[in-house]
Structure 1
Amino acid sequence: MKSPPRTPLPDLERRQGEPLYRQIYRRFRDAIEQGLLAPGDRVASARSLASELGVARGTVDLAYSQLMGEGYFLARGQAGTVVSPRLPAAARMPRRPAQAAMAPAPGVAAMHGFDAAPPPFQLGMPALDAFPRKQWLRLAARRLRALSPADMAYGDPAGYWPLRQAIAAYLSVSRGAACEPGQVFVTAGHRASLALLARALLAPGDPVWVEEPGFAPPCEVLERHGCRLVPVPVDGEGLIVEAGRQRAPGARMALVTPSHQAPLGVSMSLARRAELLGWATQAGAWVVEDDYDGEYHYAGPPLPALKSLDAYDRVIYTGSFSKVLYPGLALAYLVAPAPLVQACGQAAATGSNGCPKLVQAIVADFMAEGHFSRHLKKMRQLYGRRRRLLAAALRQVFGDGAEIGLAQGGMHLIVRLPEYGDDAAQARRAQAAGLNVQPLSARYAGEATRQGLLLGFTNLASEDETLLRVRQLRRALDV
């Protein structure tokens, strides 16, 4: 038996002419017809609903009686009242076309979630089939069994302290970014990290360097804060700092992905890193290092973070568990330089009540017990293999017509198929066939100087599946 959901009723209009019981009846009926209540769903008892709405119980009884008489509700004695499982399908159809306006905008599902497995070639999604579910469930069950009243209270807006300790230890050892736990702030995703930094450091109108091509969601966060985005081109060595100096020498911040540039995949050279840090020190600007997938490097060990070279505390390091564990966690973090800890702490306290403490505790246990480092090692090997399989399948299916860009790391590769026209048209044909292929040209704020298709490989589970999907792509493009 499903537990009764919260009453799907807006406040009653007590001053209008329609009786209260009719308002209750009509709103339940509309909720059923619009699919907010499904057949078999249990509804609140008349007593509890009357108390919730502040009306007499007899008023609710009248509404329930009419709903039962018309077949919407079914009484099941001590089991309570439910939406009738025998309700005809026609009675559950929305009456008002306006409900269609409530549907997610195009592309929202592609970014935020899926009803089933990720679509083929989905970008930025870790290998869900390889996640250590049994280990994770064991840790979660242990935490739930030990749940105390103190664990059910609000936590520190800056994050659960043991998780902050685990993150600081991991970054110091694995990414070369030495920091104290007090410098670590846990957030509800990378965009939440940027929103926190915007509240703490930026004013409307402040210029911010962003990479061109780049990744749109972080830019949207800064735009909503009123910042003026300054696209700075990227070449084979990463962000062209001199171009940034020419376009906005007094920028307040630079947002960069130095380990594997999103989306080109190039790594910022040491000379370019030094040049960027020199500019930030001279201009009094902040560099936000988005190390979204720095762990996934396939030619030698992972590159050290830009933060490891930061002698003057100008780099704000940001990371996320979305790419290394799974995005449904909605957990990320940032490392604030010592001079910014107080400002970031104030921004965290005013911006939210923090992330769920239970989820943070499970992640902290996962890291502290060594599962995290073992998982990353396993994923690097797995992704390296899946990347090679995708490149081989592209060569087999497209032959010399495929120009494959194999960067040294990352979770996707870029393939150029010039004989099939521009990349935007190619992507539309592939998407129509159910393949979540993205065009490189769409990542430019201005005129695109490069084209290609972005293909995620992390969830291509076998050689046969990889070849099947590439052949589907070929058929879609041949249409």
Structure 2
Amino acid sequence: MRSDYSWIYPSQTDPADNRTAPVAYRRLYHGIRAAILDGRLHPGERLPASRDLAKSLGISRNTVVNSFDLLTSEGYLETRVGAGSFVASTLPDRDMAAIQKANEKDSHTKGSERPLRLSQSVKRMLEYQRRFPRFRIARPFNPATPDLNAFPFDLWARLLRRGWRAPDLDLTIPDDPLGFAPLRHEIAQWLRQSRGVNCDGDQVMIVSGAQQALDLIARALVDPGDIIATEDPGYEGIRGVLAASGAKVQAVPVDGDGLCVDRLADTSTPARIVVTTPSRNYPLGTTLSLARRLAMLHWADANDAWIVEDDYDSDYRYDGPPLSSLQGLDRQNRVIYVGTFSRVMFPGIRLGYLVLPKVLIPAFRGMRGFADGVPAPTAQAALAAFFAEGHFGSHVRKMRLLYADRRHHLQNLIAQHASSQLSIMPSDGGLHFCARLIAGHDDIMMQEQMVKAGLDCRALSSYFHDKSPENRPKLPQGLVLGFAGWHKKSLTESFGELVTILDRNS
């Protein structure tokens, strides 16, 4: 038997992460277990008596006894009456040698672990990972940032507290997979009045955002191999969610009148779903014309297909009242309407909604029960009150005026200081607009330089489906410029930095 066992009792601090190690008996337990697994203690080897080991390590005998008891209960040690404690003989030498060899291999070949096996679903999704940088704090000119300073968070906090002073049963024991009923009915009323959506509260399902809405739609309606048509250019997050289903994502071009509906006939078989932003394409800002809306509805009915209307920021239209929805024109119940509150209120609210054709409600209700059950009700109750007391409509009207002023300011900056380098593309609303690079600059290169300067400026070409080297020269080169989240002074200062970069590359 060995005389020195100090090496089996680790120090109180783990130098690897500078965290405090477990209590004394757990430290000794980990030390002995590690020595057994890496072969320093062999099967059948006798350990010192608890009293002797405690004395040599400078710890209490109870610490040693507790450690031995735990190791024995887990099969690492065995006790023999009158003889003491031994490393379990049920751990054969050949097995321990294999463990030791594996440990030695790991220590000498860090980073060479066996390949990680991911599902085909995840692999398809990760092909569409975002290619934009992440700033911890939103920076100009991020195209999806609302003005958080203008949101009434004090009011929102009061509404959250009010819900829990005398909570409704539906808050404490929520049981409807579609979401909090009062909120669903408030959303339906708002959509009928502001967007011409033909619905009632029973057709509304609350989700955590547009991405989850699309995931649920793909699960319910798409089989591997089906075709899903999406706009080109368009938001890559949409393509990633849909591709995970095993469907083939088919990009359909967008022109000045919106998605080219006649190009839906280009697919080998009719698309199962077409995802469109008829009120305002993202990122171009073009609107789907009435003739194409009617043609799309006819195409969906003729081909037993579904239309997903993504209405991501239609509340902010500056050149007239909000446009009526495509869903409001639908008489054959082929349109699924998707909306979110992330841009109208604040991104962290993580609430959105689906408006479902009635025939789909039972399937979505049942499927939601297997997905994430019932959405968390606290924020839903506060949002229902936010609607019912008129705060939502008031906030939208206030922000529409504020954002229109900032949009006009940024457009004037371009006209006054960069008219020879940037050409503003038509758009009647939203939180951003696009500007073409007149001088023929590579917009990806420009984006990289602006990111280094602390500007969250997006390259227009990055939103197109085919970004292969051979196709890149054909793509329009431009910048996607968000204006909503910053005061005019900040926009002016940031635009000065942008112009400096443009001048440097002229």
Q: TM-score range by the shorter chain?
A: 0.7 to 0.9
Structure 1 residue 130, shift from structure 2 partner: 1.0
Match of 1:411 among 418, 431, 437: 431
Between 1:453-462 and 1:151-160, the stretch displaced more is 151-160
SS of the residue 2:439 aligns to: helix
Match of 1:450 among 461, 473, 476: 476
Match of 1:271 among 291, 313, 319: 291
Structure 1 residue 428, shift from structure 2 partner: 1.2
Does 2:503 match 1:478? yes
Which position in structure 1 is the counterpart of 2:53? none
Matches within 5 A, 1:29-48: 29=14, 32-33=17-18
Which position in structure 2 is the counterpart of 1:214? 234
User: For each residue in 1:31-78, what CA deviation from the matched residue of structure 2 results, as whole angstroms up to 9, or x when unmatched?
Assistant: 843xxx6x9xxx99999x9xxxxxx9958999xxxxxxxxxxxxxxxx
Matches within 5 A, 1:239-278: 239-248=259-268, 250-278=270-298
Structure 1 residue 172, shift from structure 2 partner: 1.3
Mapped partners of 1:456, 1:46: distance in 2: 57
Structure 1 residue 108, shift from structure 2 partner: 6.8
Match of 2:382 among 339, 356, 362: 362
Match of 2:136 among 115, 124, 127: 115
User: For each residue in 1:218-268, what CA deviation from the matched residue of structure 2 results, as whole angstroms up to 9, or x when unmatched?
Assistant: 110010111101110001111101111123551100000000111110111
Normalising by structure 1, report the TM-score: 0.78
Mapped partners of 2:367, 2:346: distance in 1: 26
**Which one has a bigger Cα radius of gyration?**
2
Does 2:487 match 1:461? yes
Match of 1:134 among 154, 161, 169: 154
Which position in structure 1 is the counterpart of 2:44? none
The one-letter code matched in structure 2 to 1:227 is A
Distance change in 2, residues 1:156/1:449 (3 Å): same
Structure 2: segments with no counterpart, 5+ residues: 28-60, 68-108, 112-127
The one-letter code matched in structure 1 to 2:497 is Q
Distance change in 2, residues 1:365/1:58 (3 Å): farther
Mapped partners of 1:330, 1:61: distance in 2: 48
Normalising by structure 2, report the TM-score: 0.74
Mapped partners of 2:380, 2:175: distance in 1: 10
SS of the residue 2:393 aligns to: helix
User: For each residue in 1:123-180, what CA deviation from the matched residue of structure 2 results, as whole angstroms up to 9, or x when unmatched?
Assistant: 2121111111121111112123334786344543221111111111111111111212
Matches within 5 A, 1:303-322: 303-322=323-342
Which position in structure 1 is the counterpart of 2:349? 329
Q: Is the 8 A contact 1:397 1:470 kept in 2?
A: no
Which position in structure 2 is the counterpart of 1:166? 186
SS of the residue 2:321 aligns to: coil
The count of residues paired between Structure 1 and Structure 2 equals: 407
Distance change in 2, residues 1:240/1:150 (3 Å): closer
Structure 1: segments with no counterpart, 5+ residues: 1-17, 50-55, 63-95, 99-105
Mapped partners of 2:66, 2:15: distance in 1: 18
Mapped partners of 1:471, 1:279: distance in 2: 48
Between 1:150-159 and 1:217-226, the stretch displaced more is 150-159
The one-letter code matched in structure 1 to 2:493 is L
Distance change in 2, residues 1:342/1:61 (3 Å): same
The one-letter code matched in structure 1 to 2:216 is L
Percent identity for Structure 1 against Structure 2:
37
